[in-house]
Amino acid sequence: MNKVHNLFPTTIFESFIGVNKKEKNFLLNENYEIISQNNIRNGLTSTDKFILENKKYSSLKQKISKEINNYLYDLFQINKKTSFYITNSWCIKHEKNDKSFIHDHTNSLISGVYYFNTPKNCGNIIFERNRYTNNLFSSTLSLDLNKLNNFNSYHYSVEVKEGMLLLFPSHLLHFTEENLSNEQRCSLSFNVFFKGGIGNNQNLNRLDI
């Protein structure tokens, strides 16, 4: 019997935490400002960049924090002596024809996005393989393929759904497709870092944050 050992995967964690109508209404009615990318108006972002620190979102933050713990402690088996916290959090509204350009998240270990309004044809989120991360062949080669799969593709598309939460390494490149709907695609993004001490003095790698 053949067996595939899928070593060192890049793991995107998906869960559904639902949408509370009251919280959704609060999020939609936050103060927003225009996003300009490449000198082009491209959506709206909340003026509050620490939105999950607001007490009215304490239940939502608790749900998100639970999934972060599942991702880090259960899936990756990180020792619980290392604690993690959400550093910043903000909302994005993409109107018709808006999209986000390819980017990663600096000064962060884990990033996440929670979708609270996803009309039909609002566009997916696309994750892209770093060109310096090789699988079978170097990224300088482009072989003809019969079909794309998780082993040979450079892009991975996730269909966004209302109530969906995605967690992923902050260095993972990603972008969102153009919103072809007449309604807004709305999401809440956030970054996660650790605090406390890691390593030890014996190995000369102790780090306290």
pLDDT in tens, 68-116: 999 999 999 999 989 999 999 999 999 999 999 999 999 999 999 999 9
pLDDT band at 57 (very low <50, low <70, confident <90, very high): very high
Question: Which structural domain, as residue segments, surrounds residue 33?
Answer: 13-132+151-208
Q: How many CA atoms lie within 13 A of 146 on its CB side?
A: 0
Q: Say if residue 35's pLDDT is above 90.
A: no
Indicate whether 5 belongs to any domain. no
Decide if pLDDT at 123 tops 90: yes
CB 51 within 8 A of CB 189: no
Average pLDDT over residues 44-73: 97
Whether 142 is covered by a domain: the verdict is no
- Supply 77's token pair: 């088996």
Residue 144 included in any domain: no
Residue 206, pLDDT > 90, answer no
Q: Could you give the CA distance from residue 35 to residue 93 in angstroms, rounded to a whole number?
A: 9
Average pLDDT, the chain: 92
How remote is the C-alpha of 126 from its chain's centroid?
10
- Kindly report which listed range (30-44, 69-83, 176-190) carries the lowest average pLDDT score: 30-44
pLDDT at 37 over 80: no
Here the CATH number for the domain that contains residue 62 is 2.60.120.620
Region 61-67 average pLDDT: 98
Note whether residue 2 is domain-resident: no
Q: Provide the pLDDT for residue 8.
A: 85
Strand order in the sheet with 125-128: 100-103, 173-176, 125-128, 155-158
Structural domain contains residue 146: no
pLDDT digits (tens, 9 = 90+) for 131-167: 777 777 777 778 888 998 888 888 899 999 999 999 9
The contacts found for 54-63 with CB under 8 angstroms, 24 or more apart, are 56/23, 56/26, 57/23, 57/26, 57/27, 59/20, 59/23, 60/17, 60/20, 60/23, 60/114, 61/86, 63/17, 63/165
Q: Where does 6-100 have alpha helices with state H?
A: 21-28, 58-69
In the predicted model, is pLDDT for residue 177 greater than 80?
A: yes
pLDDT > 70: what percent of the chain? 100
Would you give the end-to-end CA distance of the chain in angstroms?
Answer: 48
What's the domain count of the chain? 1
The answer to the question of residue 94 being in a domain is yes
Compute the distance between CA of residue 106 and CA of residue 24 in angstroms, rounded to an integer. Answer: 28
* Domain contains 124: yes
Q: Is residue 182 part of a domain?
A: yes
